Amino acid sequence: MWMIDLPPFVPFFIGALMLLFTRGMLRSAIMLAVPILSALHLWMMPEGVHLQFAFFDYQLIPYRVDKLSLMFGYVFHIAALIGIIYSLHLRDTLQQVAAMLYAGSALGAVFAGDLLTLFIFWELLAFTSVFLILARRTQRAYDAAMRYLIIQVLSGVILLAGALFYAAENNSLAFGYIGLDSIAGWLIFIAFGIKCAFPFAHNWLTDAYPEATVTGTVFLSAFTTKIAVYALARAYPGAEILVYIGAAMTCFPIFFAVIENDLRRVLAYSLINQVGFMVVGIGIGTALAINGAVAHAFNDVIFKGLLFMSMGAVLHMTGRINGSDLGGLYKTMPKTTILCIVGAASISAFPLFSGFVSKSMVMTAALEEGFDWVWLMLLFASAGVFHHAGIKIPYFAFFAHDSGIRATDPPNNMLLAMAIAAALCIAIGIYPQALYSLLPYDTGYNPYDATHVLAQTQLLFFSALAFVWLNLKGMYPPELRSTVLDFDWFYRRAIPSALQNAFSVIWRVDRAIRDAVKLRLTTYLGYFAGKNDRLSILLSRDYPTGSMAMWVAVVLAVYLLLSFIA
């Protein structure tokens, strides 16, 4: 019975501990065994509450299984296995242990039945994933990791505050439908929104993911935002504000992705774009829309992982990732090229590929519920994602001009991981019923009717035609050696500059105060100083900047304290 009720995160945490004391083939065997055995165990788990206990006046449920959590649990095991296979060539304990703990934390959050357990794993996601960025061991990676950690921890703090308000209002910590009719609901909504990369809270993703290691980015793309999507689907289905937030998320990243040079950052913007479709589906809230959001999250983990793996392979073999530095790689990296094209076709929602069978559900639900303008935005976003992820990524990496680079395909384990992901993209596209059978609702949806296929084919054809025409006319934005900043300009440029200027003023005031005090003391004590060498040395000493300000602050604090006591 104990084995049956074992939460899925436990094998991953035990496996991470074992990795600290193993090396070589044994370590690889443990890494592969953990997600496979855990997935088999999860497959046999019936729905229901499998672990609960009392905590003061509240019931905590660390392990609850239902169709929604199972859907994410399955794809997280698939993502963990593919990511582990992709990373088998590494000999880096930090990355491998962090990846195992990160995957376990994601599973812990998915099966959490109460807000306190969710908060614990919410923060563990931040603290474990940051090492996948730090493991690159560059100054840029360190800076991005610190910014990433601050924002992720802030999300957790807001979640905890919301959970406390929720407990006070409802005398319960159960994690179910929450809604937006209370302070607690809004606080938790904001916490989920930060992790989901809502507009103006999205830059941690585009900032940190491209700076992570080659394998670290693959893991990062699978878990963090999908946990937030899962949390929104459970707590805020039908919240109409999500429809408009999601629509904005699908559109604005397109403009930045088109001009971005770093191809992994292009995929980071594309990740926000795809999450936007999921958020729209959750906001619509119907059975078809929720199914579409969940199915698209499932598919996105796989096809976005495939694209990040293909670009990781390019970076691993060439040491370069900017579109301006690449091109012509199809000649010596043919397998990686084909696998990347499969990922590009999937994210672009080509018929017979996985993206088509899930994205169309959300768009159909939008039309059925009268969100005509939102449907047009989603249509524009679908064309845009084909431009920047379906065409730009493979075109500038493997075709375009010949960069002269003659790198070979990556190690076999990396190719195998990409091949598994590509096979799943095609299999789900050809036989979507296997995916639909796992969804929370049975809607009888059929993606392959003539209207859907014809409309999507026309959209892709004219999008491709527009790309070719713009490219031939020289109007398509060129790949420039530059860094694109959007909202992160505020905390990467504006705020540091403002703080530097503010402290500069403080130091100038401090210097003026010290000079004035020293002059006054010298005037009044000059007579005594002339007769006392020690006092003269004391008065002439140049104290460190900030010392006078510190003493002034101390005197004021003591004065205020005494005034308060009096």
Q: What is the pTM of this model?
A: 0.86
Region 276-296: what's the mean pLDDT? 96
What is the pLDDT averaged over residues 541-560?
Answer: 54
Exposure string over 241-268, b if 16+ CB within 10 A, otherwise e: ebbbbbbbbbbbbbebbeebbbbbbbbb
Average pLDDT over residues 516-539: 57
List 60's β-bridge partners, or say none: 53
Taking residues 273-292, what's their average pLDDT?
A: 96
Same domain for 411 and 268: yes
Q: Which two tokens stand for residue 267?
A: 């995929």
Query: Would you call 138 helix, strand, or coil by DSSP?
Result: coil
Which of the four pLDDT bands, split at 50, 70 and 90, describes residue 533?
low
Average pLDDT on 473-481 reads: 63
The count of domains in the chain is: 3
Residue 435: per-residue pLDDT: 95
Structural domain boundaries enclosing 198? 1-236
Say yes or no: 482 and 498 in one domain.
no
Taking the CA of residue 297 as centre, how many other CA atoms within 13 Å lie in the half-sphere pointing to its CB? 33
Report CA 373 to chain centroid distance, whole Å. 28
What's residue 507's pLDDT? 76
Give 392: exposed, middle or buried? Use CB within 10 Å, 0-12, 13-18, 19+. buried
pLDDT digits (tens, 9 = 90+) for 74-117: 999 999 999 999 999 999 999 999 999 999 999 999 999 999 99
Query: Under a CB-based contact definition with an 8 Å cutoff, are residues 148 and 195 in contact?
Result: no
Which whole number is the average pLDDT over 396-404? 86
Give the C-alpha separation, 247 to 371, whole Å.
Answer: 11
Verify that 231 and 246 share a domain, yes or no: no
Domain closes at, from 236, 269, 292? 236
Residues 6+ apart with CB under 8 A from 297: 72, 75, 226, 229, 230, 278
Closest CA to 171 of 230, 240, 114, 241: 114
Angstrom CA distances, 493 to 485, 486, 500, stand at 9, 11, 11
- pLDDT, position 510: 74
Residues 381 and 414 in one domain: yes
- Model pLDDT, residue 500: 75
Q: In this structure, are 520 and 547 located in the same domain?
A: yes
Alpha carbon 487 to its chain's center? 16
Q: Are residues 135 and 279 in the same domain?
A: no
Backbone angles phi, psi at 114, to 5 degrees: -140, 160
The residue among 208, 236, 264 that closes a domain is 236
- Looking at residue 422, what DSSP letter applies? H
Lowest mean per-residue pLDDT among 222-231, 264-273, 528-537: 528-537
Exposure class string for 351-363: b at 16+ Cβ within 10 A, else e:
bbbbbbbbbbbbb
- 542 and 441 both lie in a single domain: no
What is the share, in percent, of the chain residues with pLDDT greater than 70?
87
Confidence band of 365 (pLDDT split at 50, 70, 90): very high
Rounded mean pLDDT, 133-162: 95
Residues 466 and 358 reside in one and the same domain: yes
**Residue 2 scores a pLDDT above 60:** no
Residue 226 tokens read as 């999908």
User: 125 and 227: one domain?
Assistant: yes
**Which one is predicted more confidently, 286 or 51?**
286
Q: Which residue has the tokens 């699978």?
A: 222
**How do residues 409-444 score in pLDDT, each as one tens digit?**
999 999 999 999 999 999 999 999 999 999 999 888
Give 155's DSSP letter. Answer: H
Which residue, 487, 504, 539, sits at the end of a domain? 487
| Same domain, residue pair 413 and 335 | yes
User: What distances in angstroms separate CA 498 from CA 50, 491, 505, one per listed residue?
Assistant: 52, 10, 11
Question: Rounded to 5 degrees, what angle do the CA atoms 136, 139, 142 make?
Answer: 65
Question: Are 249 and 198 contacting, i.e. CB atoms less than 8 angstroms apart?
Answer: yes
Model confidence at 212, in pLDDT bands (50, 70, 90)?
A: very high
pLDDT bucket at 258, cuts 50 / 70 / 90: confident
DSSP 217-268: HHHHHHHHHHHHHHHHHHH-TT-THHHHHHHHHHHHHHHHHHH--BHHHHHH
380 and 494 in a single domain? The answer is no
Q: Does 257 lie in the same domain as 372?
A: yes
pLDDT at position 462 over 50: yes
Checking 316-321 for CB contacts under 8 A at 24+ apart, the result is 316/214, 316/410, 316/414, 317/407, 317/408, 317/409, 317/410, 318/405, 318/407, 320/405, 321/210, 321/262, 321/263, 321/264
8 Å CB contact between 308 and 336:
no
Residue 527 has pLDDT above 80, yes or no: no
- Res. 298 pLDDT band, cuts 50 70 90: very high
